[in-house]
Amino acid sequence: MVTGITERNQMKTELVNLGYSMKYIDDWQPKTTLYRHKAAYNDAGTATDAVGTSVPNVPGNPDYVLRKAKIGLFPWAPSESCECRWCVVGRAEAAEEKKVVASVDSPVIGEAVSCGDCAFVAKASTKTGALAKLRAHSKIH
């Protein structure tokens, strides 16, 4: 596909907005290696390629790289400093998952007080906290 000057300038602007340098756009190499910043999935929903997987020997012309950038393939590997939308979302999801795992796997329970009327057990990190939970429970009796 041959592009005119107007289309090339639009592609340049779009590539610059995605984070590419003008030197890359003007002095592109015939082949390049792209890295996945978004995992690839098959029709069944199973991951086929993980984040960080390289895709070698792809065309390096700007219009092809621009199309691939829209689906999460960039010529640099994903890192903690990458600001593409997939890396930012991935870091946020990982942080949220870490919080959930920490709260589920390592509960801080130091004291437990049982209700005299039923089998309810109030658990908390301190005896005062456990008694407060028991008082709240006793209000429903």
Name the residue with tokens 């600001």: 83
The verdict on pTM exceeding 0.75 is no
Give burial (CB, 10 Å; 0-12/13-18/19+) of 34.
buried
Closest CA to 33 of 65, 63, 71, 2: 65
Distances (CA, A) of 47 to 50, 64, 132: 7, 24, 47
Instruction: Count CB atoms within 10 A of the CB of residue 60.
Output: 16
pLDDT at 1: 55
Q: Phi-psi region for residue 50, left (φ > 0), alpha (ψ -120 to 50) or beta?
A: beta
- pLDDT score for 104: 47
Give the single-character DSSP code of 72.
Answer: T
Q: How crowded is residue 5: how many other Cβ atoms within 10 Å of its Cβ?
A: 7
Low-confidence stretches of the chain (pLDDT < 70) are: 1-3, 24-29, 99-109, 141
C-alpha–C-alpha distance, residues 88 and 80, integer Å: 9
Query: What is residue 106's predicted lDDT score, i.e. its pLDDT?
Result: 47
Distance separating the N- and C-terminal Cα atoms of the chain: 77
